[in-house]
Amino acid sequence: MTQVAIHKDFLKAIYNIPRSQQKKVMEFTEKFRRDPTQASINYEPIHDMKDSKVRTVRIGLDYRAIIIHPQKGDVYLLVWVDHHDEAMRWAKNKVFEINENTGAIQVLDIEYINERKVKDVGENQDNGYYLFDKYSDKQLKKIGVPALLFPSIRNLKTEHEIDEISKHLPEEAYEGLLSLAAGFSFDQTMQELEYAFDSHLIDTDDFEKALEHPDTKRRFATLSSTEELMDILDAPLEKWRVFLHPSQKKLVTGEYKGSTRVLGGAGTGKTVVAMHRAKFLAEKMCNNSSDKILFLTFTSNLAKVIDNHLDSIVKGETRNNIEVTTVHSWSKRLLNRYRIYFNTVNEDNIEMAWREAYTSEELGFDLSFYKEEWEEVVQQHGINNVNDYLRIPRVGRGTRVSRLQRSQIWKVLEHYRNYLDQHQIKEWIDVVRDARKVIEQTNSIFPYKAIIVDEAQDLHQEDYKLMRMIVPEGDNDLFIVGDAHQRIYKNKVVLSHCGINIRGIRSKKLRINYRTTEEIRRWAVSILNGEEFDDLDGELDNQNGYKSLLYGSVPEVRHFNSKEEELNFINDFINTAILEGVELSNICIVTRSKKLLQQVYEPMLKNDNIPFIYLNPNENAYGEGIRLGTIHRVKGLEFSHLIISSVNDGIVPPISILKRTNDEISKNNTLLREKSLLYVAATRARDYLLVTSYNKQSELLVNLKKII
């Protein structure tokens, strides 16, 4: 059967040609996809090509598509399109080969390889230490380095030099080399690369088979339907929709006995994997329209974003099999279905409740003490009577209290609870708890075949206990992705305490950052230096081995003497970006509080006639305008240009929050959360990150300067 595939660079090439010409290229692509052997497609072999498999096809008068058609099998690969001369130049020195050690199709630039060979003669005089001296040719070949590239590789001395030649390396070879350079052993590196191929069985002429290889699939998409092609062509830059990394693909299509947890730093494609997994499970497990895969996340704006993205990767009936929501909305809906109606807490009603309750205070503790006691002891353990409160170990609390004091503290807490009950107000944690009670009482059975959880670090253990009830233990039951480094709410979970057993399964981690440049990633990670983070199951996680594949400018951290100077600088930054053609929706100003946006940055934009749009919790932001959002709001999103502004002392962390507590443990936890907030904010930037402050700089930035 004829096999047609397109290379991901072909999408880049389409995007680079003028819009007026794109239609013709797309029409050609569809014709080619339907039947590359049809008589109206005229393949012209060209002379002077390094690879005899290269053919070209005219598109209109000016454009040429580059196609690879190997002798054996019935395979056609569409790899590039450009103006006639440029297309020829591009193709002239490329070879398209099946790697004899891995079996993947690789694209090599012979011009570069020859250039290196000439240079190497001189460079090799130096007998200094080379990065890969201790690895044999055989080992390098096994990680996918083509033998032709050895002269380049053998001369590398630093990680930075690997980065410099990265665009000439097949992705798997690049990642393998980085892994070895980072100190991972050869075996660990092979494991990371997920290789399980027997080189004896590799036929370097069998392109049909090679198209099935996971590393081939990083760069070639096999096209089986017009819809599939149109989807790809519709959004050529959204490569994640088609070209998954083998480690991502393996997680998406894995068969797991029980629950799975996937960790990974910011931008490593956790949400992408979770969405593809939802699609995979819906296709596999849902037999009719009522069967569902439940996709849960923490905030409603993220649920909206995911809902939208899913529309672009899952079509037809299968899309209806995936329900995306938050644990809170799901629980509220369930209770409402049982005619249990209530208000949920908001800033106003909760303050009122606490003020009322605090009137019974007798011990001289401030209100923040009670609020924390409530959250971290009472709600954390689901305590609803004084006896349990007297007995519970107050782990994580820094202020010691006697038994007698406890019974007096309880009066305030009970008062608070009574106020909520009388006014039919529920905290979200109680909404979730009540949902569990209803399920227990009614023995409800749900249509959910599996649950996918994104932003898992921010969900409460009550949320997980609820999930355990919705989907009983079984194969592929829960697929949980998260990263404790990005925990910005107070919740902390140990999955095994919630009946979710992921132990014994090899840790699953995503390490390649697709979003930010390496420079931004490093800066962001340095914010968290010296802190410890958990793996959502009671053990420690780390950021070892993470890497961005993109490079760019170093984040700009600017401190100003006054607010006016800061505003002027930001204004210039935005106007320069606009002049460079950056879309307004790709620029975002982030602050610690919404008030700051409204009072400082909104007037600045109005003054300069720059349109802006606030990122809201309950809707996706559409339309022309710079985005304005708090750090909490930009979680899960990304922008090419990001400005984190007013990173001042007293604002990050907010003085009101620091003052709120006298408890040392609480203070440290608050500081940690603030660091994570800054980390989350910084990792939303794809290309440019500007961090500004005025008057006095936040201690988080001051400390950072010492670290880098």
Ligand X SMILES: Nc1ncnc2c1ncn2[C@@H]1O[C@H](COP(=O)(O)OP(=O)(O)OP(=O)(O)O)[C@@H](O)[C@H]1O
3-state secondary structure of 290: coil
| Burial class for 445, CB neighbours closer than 10 Å (0-12, 13-18, 19+) | exposed
CB of 456 to ligand X, least distance (A): 10
- Using CA atoms, how far apart are residues 535 and 261, in angstroms rounded to an integer? 9
Q: Is 521 left (phi over 0), alpha (psi -120 to 50) or beta?
A: alpha
Instruction: Tell me if 276 contacts ligand X by CB under 6 A.
Output: no
Q: Name which of residues 50 to 109 contact ligand X (CB under 6 A).
A: none
Instruction: Tell me if 244 contacts ligand X by CB under 6 A.
Output: yes
Count of beta carbons in the 10 Å neighbourhood of residue 622 = 8
Residue (66 or 251) nearer to ligand X, CB: 251
- Using CA atoms, how far apart are residues 124 and 132, in angstroms rounded to an integer? 14
CB of 273 to ligand X, least distance (A): 7
Instruction: Tell me if 245 contacts ligand X by CB under 6 A.
Output: yes
Q: Which of 59, 140, 272, 631 binds ligand X (CB under 6 A)?
A: 272
CB of 223 to ligand X, least distance (A): 18
Are 478 and 231 in contact, with CB atoms under 8 Å apart? no
Residue (141 or 515) nearer to ligand X, CB: 515
CB of 272 to ligand X, least distance (A): 4
The 3-class secondary structure across 134-198, one letter per residue, is CCCHHHHHHCCCCHHHHHHHHCCCCHHHHHHCHHHCCHHHHHHHHHHHCCCCHHHHHHHHCCCCC
Instruction: Tell me if 546 contacts ligand X by CB under 6 A.
Output: no
Q: Which of these ranges, 110-118, 266-274, 335-343, 604-612, lies near ligand X under the rule CB under 6 A?
A: 266-274
- Using CA atoms, how far apart are residues 302 and 637, in angstroms rounded to an integer? 8
- Using CA atoms, how far apart are residues 312 and 319, in angstroms rounded to an integer? 10
Residue (486 or 645) nearer to ligand X, CB: 486
Residue (269 or 629) nearer to ligand X, CB: 269
- Using CA atoms, how far apart are residues 598 and 152, in angstroms rounded to an integer? 54
Q: Which of 97, 172, 215, 483 binds ligand X (CB under 6 A)?
A: 483
Look at strands 612-614 and 587-591 and give their pairing.
unpaired
- Using CA atoms, how far apart are residues 186 and 135, in angstroms rounded to an integer? 8
Residue (219 or 417) nearer to ligand X, CB: 219
Instruction: Tell me if 479 contacts ligand X by CB under 6 A.
Output: no
- Using CA atoms, how far apart are residues 155 and 140, in angstroms rounded to an integer? 13
Q: Which of 508, 511, 515, 547 binds ligand X (CB under 6 A)?
A: 515
Residue (248 or 461) nearer to ligand X, CB: 248
Are 78 and 67 in contact, with CB atoms under 8 Å apart? yes
| Burial class for 194, CB neighbours closer than 10 Å (0-12, 13-18, 19+) | middle
Residue (363 or 551) nearer to ligand X, CB: 551
Residue (281 or 409) nearer to ligand X, CB: 281
Number of helical H runs and strand E runs in the chain? 31, 26
- What's the Rg (C-alpha) of the chain? 28
Rounded to 5 degrees, what angle do the CA atoms 74, 77, 79 make? Answer: 165
Instruction: Tell me if 220 contacts ligand X by CB under 6 A.
Output: no
Cross-strand bridge partners of residue 65: 57, 81
Structure tokens at 442: 């009614």
- Using CA atoms, how far apart are residues 408 and 389, in angstroms rounded to an integer? 11
270 in a labelled binding site = yes
Q: Which of 36, 70, 236, 636 binds ligand X (CB under 6 A)?
A: 636
Instruction: Tell me if 612 contacts ligand X by CB under 6 A.
Output: no
Q: Which of these ranges, 125-133, 198-206, 242-250, 695-703, lies near ligand X under the rule CB under 6 A?
A: 242-250
- Using CA atoms, how far apart are residues 173 and 512, in angstroms rounded to an integer? 14
Contact flags string 221-240 toward ligand X, x per CB under 6 A: ------------------xx
Q: Which of these ranges, 262-270, 347-355, 372-380, 517-525, lies near ligand X under the rule CB under 6 A?
A: 262-270
Query: Residues, the chain, total?
Result: 708
CB of 310 to ligand X, least distance (A): 12
Rounded to 5 degrees, what angle do the CA atoms 64, 66, 72 make? Answer: 145
Instruction: Tell me if 11 contacts ligand X by CB under 6 A.
Output: no
Residue (182 or 313) nearer to ligand X, CB: 313
Q: Which of 267, 555, 629, 653 binds ligand X (CB under 6 A)?
A: 267
Contact flags string 662-691 toward ligand X, x per CB under 6 A: ---------------------x--------
Q: Which of 36, 146, 236, 264 binds ligand X (CB under 6 A)?
A: 264
Q: Which of 266, 429, 439, 590 binds ligand X (CB under 6 A)?
A: 266
Amino acid at 106: Q
Binding site listing for ATP: 264-271
Binding site for ligand X (CB under 6 A): 239-240, 243-245, 248, 264, 266-272, 483, 486, 514-515, 636, 638, 683
